[in-house]
């Protein structure tokens, strides 16, 4: 593969386009007021300077995802962009008869994380992930947010109008994206948690510095509030493996295992001594 000579901000197209598509699907789901829809995204940031994404989207109604939906659309170069070392795979999951519904599973690996200071004019506000000093900063812009700029908003609108199933499949989401649809207004007035099972997790190499309202466990911050994700979330964490973690966070599992092993050893010794007593003379 030829070397990518585009500026870093343009080389991050996978993150920008991927975010736009994710928001388009989420907006379409909200506009249709579907029940039983699922959107789970897990991000893993590596200390080596790249990140991976696993995305699972399901629909039990057959409205957003149908038997004719081509999941490979989510892996198209025109959608996720290109980059040195980036790989994208997409495949269908479930079935229309399954309890969890039909959908698509997307895996993105090896997306480079640009340095905030090295982007064009130093503006990294429209990038999904950047490195800022010793921190990784992740920004998931809310639907309709101007954080992605006119270009990002245009991508989201285009993705909405096309829909995951091609032309026609996204007509209702496209109408909702215009902002005047009663379905959209009703969905935003009522909690999206009643219609969408949404979850986002971000795992940093080191300690979480800013959880952005999410729930922290070790080096991972998780949101499972569809309303918060619709509005957009931001989080930051240490870019160096193990940085900022306490001794317990780093070695707690080993300490617990050691204590358990020591307890078992003591218990076994006591048991052996107890069994020998009846035979003693």
Structure tokens at 85: 């070392």
- The span from the CA of 22 to the CA of 55, in Å, is 9
Residue by residue, pLDDT tens for the chain (281 residues) are 343 334 333 444 445 555 544 444 444 444 433 456 888 999 999 999 999 999 898 888 777 788 888 888 877 765 555 567 888 898 999 887 788 888 889 898 998 898 888 766 555 666 789 999 999 999 988 765 544 443 444 444 444 444 444 444 444 433 433 444 444 454 456 788 888 888 999 999 999 999 999 999 999 999 999 889 888 899 999 999 866 554 545 444 545 665 566 667 666 666 777 666 665 55
211 and 233 Cβ atoms separated by less than 8 Å = no
What global pTM score does this model have? 0.65
- What DSSP string runs through 189-235? HS-GGGTEEEEEEEE-SS-EEE-TT-EEETTEEEE--HHHHHHEEEE
- What pLDDT, on the 0 to 100 scale, is given for residue 224? 93
Distances (CA, A) of 186 to 15, 31, 143: 30, 8, 16
- What pLDDT, on the 0 to 100 scale, is given for residue 63? 78
Q: How many CB atoms lie within 10 A of CB 115?
A: 14
- What pLDDT, on the 0 to 100 scale, is given for residue 230? 86
End-to-end CA distance of the chain: 81
- What pLDDT, on the 0 to 100 scale, is given for residue 275? 66
pLDDT in tens, 69-122: 888 887 776 555 556 788 889 899 988 778 888 888 989 899 889 888 876 655
Bin 266: left if φ > 0, else alpha if -120 < ψ < 50, else beta. Answer: alpha
- The span from the CA of 30 to the CA of 23, in Å, is 10
192 and 23 Cβ atoms separated by less than 8 Å = no
């Amino acid at each position: 593969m030829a070397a990518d000579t585009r500026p870093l901000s343009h080389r991050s197209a996978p993150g920008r386009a991927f975010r736009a598509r994710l928001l388009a699907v989420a907006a379409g789901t909200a506009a249709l007021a579907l029940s039983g829809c699922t959107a789970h995204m897990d991000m893993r940031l590596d200390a080596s300077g790249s990140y991976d994404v696993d995305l699972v989207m399901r629909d039990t109604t057959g409205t957003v995802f149908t038997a004719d939906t081509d999941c490979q659309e989510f892996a198209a170069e025109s959608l996720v962009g290109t980059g040195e070392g980036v790989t994208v795979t997409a495949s269908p999951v479930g079935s229309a008869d399954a309890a969890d519904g039909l959908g698509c599973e997307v895996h993105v690996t090896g997306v480079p994380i640009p340095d905030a200071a090295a982007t064009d004019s130093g503006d990294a506000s429209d990038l999904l992930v950047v490195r800022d000093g010793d921190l990784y900063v992740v920004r998931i812009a809310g639907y309709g947010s101007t954080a992605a700029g006119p270009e990002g908003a245009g991508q989201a609108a285009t993705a909405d109008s096309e829909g995951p199933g091609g032309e026609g499949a996204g007509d209702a989401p496209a109408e909702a994206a215009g902002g005047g649809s009663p379905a959209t207004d009703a969905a935003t007035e009522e909690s999206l948690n009643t219609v969408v099972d949404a979850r986002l997790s971000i795992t940093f190499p080191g300690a979480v510095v800013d959880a952005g309202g999410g729930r922290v466990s070790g080096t991972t911050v998780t949101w499972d509030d569809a309303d918060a994700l619709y509005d957009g979330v931001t989080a930051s964490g240490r870019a160096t493996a193990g940085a900022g973690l306490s001794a317990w966070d780093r070695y707690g599992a080993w300490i617990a295992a050691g204590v358990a092993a020591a307890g078992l050893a003591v218990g076994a010794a006591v048991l052996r001594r107890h069994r020998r007593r009846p035979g003693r003379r």
